[in-house]
Structure 1
Amino acid sequence: MNTQEIVQKLWNLCNVLRDDGITYHQYVTELTYILFLKMMKERGQEEAIPEKYRWDQLRSLHGEEMYQHYRDLLTHLGTEAEDDLIRQIYYNASTNIDEPKNLEKIIRSIDDLDWYSAREEGLGNLYEGLLEKNASEKKSGAGQYFTPRPLINVMVKLIDPKPGERCNDPAAGTFGFMIAADQYVKEKTDDYFDVLDLRTFQVHEAFTGCELVQETHRLALMNARLHGIEGKIHLGDTLSSLGAEMGEMDVILTNPPFGTKRGGERPTRDDLTFPTTNKQLNFLQHIYRALKKNGKARAAVVLPDNVLFQDGDGRRVREDLMDKCNLHTVLRLPTGIFYAQGVKTNVLFFERGTTDTGNTQEVWFYDLRTNMPSFGKRNPLTEAHFDDFIKAYTAEDRTQVKDSRWSRFTREEIRAKGNTLDLGLIADESLSAYENLPDPIDSAEEAIAKLERATSLLNEVVEELRKAEGMNK
């Protein structure tokens, strides 16, 4: 049984919990609590878990006794576990399962999986497959801006992280960028086996991040541990004073959250030159300020179109970026590659200069959006779609690349256009307006998912009002 088949079996267990009203995201969190115990057993790493709360003890119980023991386990590991990572994974943990028989069904089903095959294929790969499955299900809401693995791999390959470099994702999500970077470096260095000190650095210090949402932070910790990474993943807001501590990085790879700060507030940290309510502009400022000022530190960042053309603070941030960094490449991404229709994004590749002025002389653009097929569940993005871009990006002489999607603008030309970076898209008059319409099935599914989430929220409001009404009687 391969990883994909095991992931599907785990995912099908969600049907067991439908009667408990558990959402997809709650299910993945619940699975994380249970899978961690099982995977620690499979990896022979149970010594940090009190014997009373290990997998074999849990699976030996039945019914109500198992259910109560499981609840005690969540509380104990979240508050009293000696291992800091275990305590963080189970911090504030509580079960959404109401029926003891459902919990037992899940534990028995997990115990019966083909764990020999899972170990052979990698427990980290199994867990990451589960996270990707969650993101691909529109009803989960988890994948609205989930970065597709092919895009992550391409960004990592082109940024080329090296052993001994400090890599960071200030909007870590489930830690996908850093896990891909770790795998990339391992493949290029024979898994660090030559140098013990280097291996220690790579495991404990090379890959770090920050995640604001506690449930997602929990998933990131689990994902990192199963991939053998023990670098610090902060729980908090990069746009607060915490972010100011994450500096002197060699590599930053990230896909920051889109939108404006809740309530129209500005970031609480005081070291940004142009604080704004736009999250992406604040994250962009954080990123180029957090890179080492050595001419080698570099970043690849996924950002929406509005960062390229927004006036006011947007223009000032772009000017500051092009002064402090060599913004050498902008990849215009196709629509439909994220699990939300109509999201238009780009990848900005840049290097921090040794000075604060005049670092960008020219910017190369690659249009991977115009005349591209409609991507979605039925036509997924693959690394092969980036082949021509990679050839252009890595060309020894970029001016010799013969590709209509590849274009260059000097800093003077960009300045003359008002410092907009909304450039490089092919003008194609023959393109029918209908060809850019989203897949009607995907659109319908997205609309249904949004309605279901809205209905769920309304039901919660009604339930709270009923409770309040009962208390007032």
Structure 2
Amino acid sequence: MANVSGIVKSARKIMRQDTGTGSDELRILQLGWMLFLKIFSDKDKELELMDDHYTSPIPSELHWDEWAGDDEGMTGDELLQFVDRKLFPTLSEIDLSSGSRRAVLVHEVFANNYNYMKSGIHLRQVINKLNEIDFNNSKDLHLFGQIYETFLSELQSAGTLGEFYTPRAVTQFMTEMVNPEHGETVLDPACGTGGFLTAVIEHLKATASSVQQREAIAKNVRGWEYKPLPYMLANTNLVLHDITTPDIQFGDSLQRPLSEYTHKDQVDVIIANPPFGGVVSNNNENNFPQTYRTKESADLFLILMIHLLKDGGRAAIVLPDGSLTGDGVKQRVRQKLLEDCNVHTIIRLPNSVFKPYATVATNLIFFTKGEPTKRIWYYQLLCPPGVKAYSKTKRIQSDDFDDVRDWWDNRVESDYSWSASIDEIIRRDFDLDIKNPARLKVDNDKNAKDYIETINDDLSEISSEVKEIFNSYFRLSEFKVVELGSICSIEKGQTGIKKAVPGSYPMVTTGEERGSHTEYQFDCEAVCIPLVSSTGHGHASIKRIHYQSGKFALGSILAAATPIDCASVSAKYLYFYLNNFKDDVVVPLMKGMANVTLSIGNLKKVKVILPPIEEQEQLVMLMDKCEKLRNTLAKSMADSEEMIRAVLGEILDLDVIHNA
């Protein structure tokens, strides 16, 4: 048996030397497509031997063994050109006429991903390392599955990908409490990297008593994911869990009108951590009944999941505190949940469970559809003794839920558990943010020492983020200088700011905040550039340039630059480039004496440094990390102010003055 852990460590060490995979994030993504193809290709050959009617969708010369299996085979520029110019283009345009689900899977993975490595020599070295793992050996496969899980856990702190990973301890606990049974259909409509799906698969495997039950697992466990990178990682994850053809649909769950989901779409169990803190794009809120329309993704997903459950179906979902309270649409969503379903349990998690990706307060909500709620039980989960807060190095563990497990079937009120009747909840206008009536201070008021420890945590996080930026730094392999008008269509806004009628579409103006309008002008990704100086009086200046996606209106004193070919130009890259270098490349083209303006003609002449699309995407990831660091620094400044006040307040007790 191979030393799987050592092989993977060696592969990652090689990737660190490559300019294209300098960050954990990019190494995970690079390893993702390589592992997917190797495992998929090996399985296809096995299927062809076992089934005379099966034909692999992968052309014979592109099977892993044909071009990568020989350790002395292609390397250097020859290998790099083969992967970039032959492998990816061919597999992304694979023939789908057969209707094969496996063909669709290959197409979707390679049409939406890249080869990030820049050195063909490094690429060959990584390939040779992966060839040392025998994925047809069950022990090797099992060991690698465990290692792959640690890769996915790194997403929680890997730049912009943290939203796609739920800690394994959380997925296991939720699956255990919902207890999916054989023959039941299970769905995660926002499956990310497949954490809930694999938890369900392992749960069902442990109780399977026949070959038929094991084979049925693949058909009954389903996922939906709308972003290509987690979609690829999820499929690889399920293949590593012995699912030959994962049933994961590629697409946005919210993009389809709710009325189009019929009885055949309903399932027995839903386990999910739907995106929260986000705003839906493309006016997907209009796919829902008027009374529940909102831009907040978590609330729309909750309505969708209620609709997708069969009567008697069970659900366990992660929801932020913001979904438990609030009026208007939020209140109506909660009312529907309580009237259509029996919400029997809410587990309140420490704020730090999803740190460092997110620090918002979250809850695990358990409910059954088909009967109204009569009483909700609450349980406040605390960090274990000696752990003040979860972090990148102190993640939540399965054992941390042991007290909840003991309480689950024998519910009594305690310092950490309480309940509320539906009558009380109705009096609160369906507000579910109910505090423990025992008034236990789970999070004591912070004293000076607490703030000092918080600052110390901030500094640790800042150090980690600086390291990530350092590791992600790279230099362009090549670039060209082009004019903005040659790579973008540029169109002036049509909506007068004062004439805008508040509506459902965001409206981009020169201000930092978005307005709204009843009509939209664009439906795309675009960079929005002011055409009028922000200071006037003969002085040329631009305060900010905006990035906007989806359907939106645009103020008449701005212009939108939209990439002509999204396969070669990233709108997000253009945003970072133009916004940060506006004083160098945009402002000098503004003309006028009193009223300084930027003409469309001059805007088209703006010079743009344009690297290959892969490096544009890499630079966007790096800039996202930089912005994350900036936000952490701002938080640290705020914490420092509170610390100063707390220290002074404790040393110089003002009660002395009041009592004098």
Q: Normalization by structure 2: what TM-score?
A: 0.62
Asked whether the equivalents of residues 21 and 30 of structure 2 are also in contact (C-alpha less than 8 Å), the reply is no
1:327 aligns with 2:343: yes
Partner residue in 1 for 2:123: 103
After TM superposition, the structure 1 stretch with the greater mean CA deviation from structure 2, 313-322 or 434-443, is 434-443
- Where 1:319 maps in the other structure, the secondary structure is helix
For residues 170-213 of structure 1, give each alpha carbon's deviation from its aligned partner in whole angstroms, at most 9, with x where no partner exists: 111011101110110110124x42xx3x444322x211121111
Q: Tell me: CA distance 1:411–1:428, structure 2 relative to 1, closer, same or farther (3 Å).
A: same
Which of the numbers 576, 579, 597 marks the counterpart of 1:461? 576
Partner residue in 2 for 1:129: 150
Asked whether the equivalents of residues 152 and 165 of structure 2 are also in contact (C-alpha less than 8 Å), the reply is no
Partner residue in 2 for 1:70: 83
Identity of aligned residues (%): 26
Q: In structure 2, how many angstroms separate the alpha carbons of the residues matched to 1:256 and 1:449?
A: 30
Which runs of 5 or more residues in structure 2 are unaligned?
49-55, 475-571, 586-604, 611-660
Q: Tell me: CA distance 1:74–1:39, structure 2 relative to 1, closer, same or farther (3 Å).
A: same
Residue 50 of structure 1 and its aligned partner are, at CA, apart by 3.0
Q: Tell me: CA distance 1:384–1:160, structure 2 relative to 1, closer, same or farther (3 Å).
A: same
Asked whether the equivalents of residues 276 and 313 of structure 1 are also in contact (C-alpha less than 8 Å), the reply is yes
1:392 aligns with 2:407: yes
Q: In structure 1, how many angstroms separate the alpha carbons of the residues matched to 2:286 and 2:302?
A: 16
Asked whether the equivalents of residues 315 and 367 of structure 2 are also in contact (C-alpha less than 8 Å), the reply is yes
1:221 aligns with 2:235: yes
Partner residue in 2 for 1:201: 216
Whichever residue aligns with residue 65 of structure 2, its letter is D
Partner residue in 1 for 2:321: 305
- Where 2:294 maps in the other structure, the secondary structure is coil
Residue 322 of structure 1 and its aligned partner are, at CA, apart by 0.5
Whichever residue aligns with residue 169 of structure 1, its letter is D
1:427 aligns with 2:440: yes
Asked whether the equivalents of residues 252 and 291 of structure 1 are also in contact (C-alpha less than 8 Å), the reply is yes
Asked whether the equivalents of residues 67 and 100 of structure 1 are also in contact (C-alpha less than 8 Å), the reply is yes
Partner residue in 1 for 2:417: 406
Partner residue in 1 for 2:361: 344
Asked whether the equivalents of residues 383 and 390 of structure 2 are also in contact (C-alpha less than 8 Å), the reply is no
Asked whether the equivalents of residues 327 and 349 of structure 1 are also in contact (C-alpha less than 8 Å), the reply is yes
Partner residue in 1 for 2:66: 57
1:212 aligns with 2:229: no
- Where 2:17 maps in the other structure, the secondary structure is helix
Q: In structure 1, how many angstroms separate the alpha carbons of the residues matched to 2:130 and 2:472?
A: 32
Which runs of 5 or more residues in structure 1 are unaligned?
none
Q: Within 5 A, what are the aligned runs for 1:433-452?
A: 433-434=446-447, 435=450, 438=454, 439-445=457-463, 448=466
After TM superposition, the structure 1 stretch with the greater mean CA deviation from structure 2, 63-72 or 324-333, is 63-72
Residue 453 of structure 1 and its aligned partner are, at CA, apart by 12
Higher relative contact order (CA 8 A, sep 6+): 1
For residues 95-125 of structure 1, give each alpha carbon's deviation from its aligned partner in whole angstroms, at most 9, with x where no partner exists: 2223222222322232345866862535433
Asked whether the equivalents of residues 328 and 349 of structure 1 are also in contact (C-alpha less than 8 Å), the reply is yes
Whichever residue aligns with residue 111 of structure 1, its letter is N
Q: In structure 2, how many angstroms separate the alpha carbons of the residues matched to 1:182 and 1:471?
A: 48
Q: Tell me: CA distance 1:470–1:273, structure 2 relative to 1, closer, same or farther (3 Å).
A: closer
After TM superposition, the structure 1 stretch with the greater mean CA deviation from structure 2, 19-28 or 89-98, is 19-28
Asked whether the equivalents of residues 223 and 248 of structure 2 are also in contact (C-alpha less than 8 Å), the reply is yes
Q: In structure 1, how many angstroms separate the alpha carbons of the residues matched to 2:148 and 2:176?
A: 23
Partner residue in 2 for 1:353: 370
Root-mean-square deviation (CA), in Å? 3.4
For residues 379-403 of structure 1, give each alpha carbon's deviation from its aligned partner in whole angstroms, at most 9, with x where no partner exists: 22111111111122222xx2xx363
Residue 266 of structure 1 and its aligned partner are, at CA, apart by 5.2
**Paired residues, what number?**
454
1:14 aligns with 2:15: yes
Q: Tell me: CA distance 1:10–1:330, structure 2 relative to 1, closer, same or farther (3 Å).
A: farther
After TM superposition, the structure 1 stretch with the greater mean CA deviation from structure 2, 366-375 or 69-78, is 366-375
Q: In structure 2, how many angstroms separate the alpha carbons of the residues matched to 1:274 and 1:441?
A: 42
For residues 313-365 of structure 1, give each alpha carbon's deviation from its aligned partner in whole angstroms, at most 9, with x where no partner exists: 111111110000000000000122213352210000000015xxxx1000000
Q: Tell me: CA distance 1:220–1:373, structure 2 relative to 1, closer, same or farther (3 Å).
A: same
Q: Normalization by structure 1: what TM-score?
A: 0.84
Q: Tell me: CA distance 1:422–1:470, structure 2 relative to 1, closer, same or farther (3 Å).
A: closer
Q: In structure 2, how many angstroms separate the alpha carbons of the residues matched to 1:158 and 1:70?
A: 45
Q: In structure 2, how many angstroms separate the alpha carbons of the residues matched to 1:455 and 1:65?
A: 26
Residue 30 of structure 1 and its aligned partner are, at CA, apart by 2.0
After TM superposition, the structure 1 stretch with the greater mean CA deviation from structure 2, 402-411 or 222-231, is 222-231
Residue 146 of structure 1 and its aligned partner are, at CA, apart by 2.3
For residues 413-439 of structure 1, give each alpha carbon's deviation from its aligned partner in whole angstroms, at most 9, with x where no partner exists: 112223211124453299241548653
Q: Tell me: CA distance 1:7–1:391, structure 2 relative to 1, closer, same or farther (3 Å).
A: farther
Partner residue in 1 for 2:396: 381
Asked whether the equivalents of residues 363 and 410 of structure 1 are also in contact (C-alpha less than 8 Å), the reply is yes
Asked whether the equivalents of residues 191 and 272 of structure 2 are also in contact (C-alpha less than 8 Å), the reply is yes
Asked whether the equivalents of residues 178 and 207 of structure 1 are also in contact (C-alpha less than 8 Å), the reply is yes
Partner residue in 2 for 1:290: 308
Asked whether the equivalents of residues 333 and 369 of structure 1 are also in contact (C-alpha less than 8 Å), the reply is yes
**Higher strand proportion, which one?**
2
Whichever residue aligns with residue 185 of structure 1, its letter is L
After TM superposition, the structure 1 stretch with the greater mean CA deviation from structure 2, 442-451 or 343-352, is 442-451
- Where 2:607 maps in the other structure, the secondary structure is helix
- Where 1:143 maps in the other structure, the secondary structure is helix
Q: In structure 1, how many angstroms separate the alpha carbons of the residues matched to 2:336 and 2:189?
A: 20
